[in-house]
Amino acid sequence: MDSAAPLPLLGILGSGKLGSVLARRALKVGYRVLVANSGDPDRLAMALSYLAPGAEACRASELAEWADILCLALPFEAFLAAPLRTGEGKIVIDMMNYLPEAEGAMPGLEERPEASSEAVQARLPGARVVKTLNHLGFHEVEEDALAPGSPGRRALGLAGDDSGARAEVALFLSRLGFDSLDLGPLRAGRILGPGGPIFGKRLSLEDLAGLAGMGGL
């Protein structure tokens, strides 16, 4: 890859704690960042001037059209309620966790709450969905980021049905400050969710690979 090539345009849907922290971190490593929520872009722009200076506010429809990589950083219930559409081939990072005890059981997920990323893919059929960044705390996106090769660099798992999208997201995670383990198809990302062997754990790449194997991969 040409190191002089411009970085992909990053879009973040959701301006809460996770979205704001991700925006700050991505800006710091050189990304242009667009952020949208369900509110007025002018009010969002004012909030971003404090929370993530340099991030640009827009509407969700514009975000879905313009961003090269679209990050879903909003409650799962809010995602289901959003009339979101993406272009064919768009990379979508699912950072969400479906928490039925907090959000209530949702149709199609009552028996398989761990399959929420597959529900995201079904809702965005043209997108290339990759599950990652859901299994660390929002503050850790900044606190745990380290340069490549640093001792103790944290590793994150990622899963998606498109190998090219997984590779691009792995590069994105590396730029943010994390190693990554490619788990394979999207359904493998179920082990990253709440109750899974990886959720909430600070792990090296070696340790992550070991736990992923224990998860049946």
Would you place residue 1 in the very low, low, confident or very high pLDDT band (cuts 50, 70, 90)? very low
Q: Is the pLDDT of residue 195 over 50?
A: yes
Q: In the 8-state DSSP scheme, what is residue 16?
A: S
Give the CATH number for residue 202: 3.40.50.720
pTM of the model: 0.92
Give the DSSP H or E segment for 71.
strand 69-72
- Phi then psi dihedrals of residue 212, to 5 deg: -60, -40
| pLDDT one-digit tens code per residue, 112-136 | 545 688 889 999 999 999 999 999 9
- Phi then psi dihedrals of residue 52, to 5 deg: -150, 70
> Residue 30 and residue 131: Cα distance in Å, rounded?
23
Rounded to 10 deg, the angle between the 17-28 and 41-51 helix axes is 60
Amino acid code (one letter) for 48: L
The single residue listed with the structure tokens 């950083």 is 73
Our count of domains for the chain comes to 1
Asked, for residue 183, whether it belongs to a domain, the answer is yes
| pLDDT one-digit tens code per residue, 22-76 | 999 999 999 999 999 988 999 999 999 999 999 999 999 999 999 999 999 999 8
Asked, for residue 130, whether it belongs to a domain, the answer is yes
pLDDT at residue 213 in the model: 79
For 88, the domain range is: 10-214
Give the DSSP H or E segment for 158.
strand 155-160
